[in-house]
Amino acid sequence: MTNLLPIFYSNILPIFIAAGMGYALERILRLDIKSITRLAFYVLIPCLTFSSLIENRITGDELSRMIVFITAITVILWVMTWMVARVLRLSRPVESALLLSTMFVNAGNYGVPLNLFAFGEPGQARAIVYLVVSAVLSNSIGVYLAARGRATTRQALLSLGKVPLIYAVLLAGLVSFSGTKLPTPLLSAVALVGRASVPVMLLILGMQLAQTSLTRDIGTISLATFIRLIIAPALAFGLAAVTGLRGVTRQTMIVEASTPTAVTSTILALEFDARPDLVTSVVFLSTLLSPLTLTVVIALVK
C-alpha cells in the first residue's frame, strides 16, 4: 500500500483547505450561497463537463461499464439500507433519510476535485461521468425515495430535465461522434470557464458545511456514515472487479463511490420533509470523517 501521508497531503488536504476558506467566508460574510451554487450548476460545471469530455475521449465500452457500475452500486446500497431499516423498524421518514444519506455521494463538489488531484485530467473526466449518472439517479430515484408517493413520475422527469449537465454530455457526445470541429476560440472560452468550477465547487462545499451541524439521533447518523464510508467502498472494490473496470476508470469509480453523502440529498429531504435534519447531520459527519477512509481507498487503488 502506498504511503498514506503523502496521499493525504497531496490529494485530500488541498480540498479541505479550500473548503475551509469557503467555510470561513460563509461564517464571516454570510454570502448568498444560492446564487453561487446556481452559477456553478448552470454555467461552470456544464462547461467543465463539455470541455473535459471533448479533451479526454472515453470509449463506448468503457462508458457502458461505468454506467453499470454506478447504477449497480446505487441499487445495492438501496436494497441493503432498506433491509437494515426494516430490521431496525425505523419510521418511514427516517428510512427515507437513511436511504438518501447512503445511496447518493458528493460526486461534484468533493469527488471531481479529489479525482483531479489524485489521477489528473483523465480522472476528472471519469469523475464527471459519475457526477452526471448520479445526477440522473438522484433526480429520479432520489425524488421517489424522498417523496414516497407525493411526487409523480412527471415531477421526477421535469426535475431531471432541469439538470444542465445532461445537455453538456449529450452535446459533447454529438460533437465527438460526428467529428465536428468547433472553433478554437469557442473551445478555449468553454475550457477557461470550466476551469473555474473546481475552486468554486470547493468553496461551495465549505459554505454548505458552515450551514450544517450534528443533531439528535446520533445512532442513526453513525449508521448512515458507516454505510457511506466503510460499506460503500468495500462494495465498490468488489463491483469494480465484476464489471471489469481497469486503470484510471477503476480508480476513479471506486474513489467516487467512497465519497461522503451528497449535499443534494439534503435538498431533496428538505423539499419533501424526509427528516432533513438527519440527512444534514450525515453530510456533516461523513464529510469530516472522509479523509480517514478516502486516504486508505486512494492508497489501495494506486
148 band by pLDDT with thresholds 50, 70 and 90: low
Domains of the chain from N-terminus onward = 4-301 (1.20.1530.20)
Tell me the three state secondary structure of residue 163. coil
pLDDT of 302 > 90? The answer is no
pLDDT, residue 149, reads 44
CB 90 within 8 A of CB 156: no
In this prediction, residues 253-282 reach a mean pLDDT of: 86
CA–CA dist 241, 69 (Å, integer): 10
Confidence of residue 33 (pLDDT cuts 50, 70, 90): confident
Cα–Cα distances in angstroms (integers) from residue 47 to residues 14, 41, 168, 182, 191, in the given order:
23, 10, 7, 14, 7
Residue type, 171: L
Give which of 88, 205, 79 is closest to 145, Cα–Cα: 79
Q: Say if residues 279 and 261 touch (Cβ distance below 8 Å).
A: yes
pLDDT tens track for 201-242: 899 889 888 887 777 788 999 999 999 999 999 999 999 999
C-alpha cell at 47: 462547461
pLDDT value of position 231: 97
Mean pLDDT of the chain: 88
Mean pLDDT within 106-133: 92
In one-letter notation, the amino acid at residue 101 is S
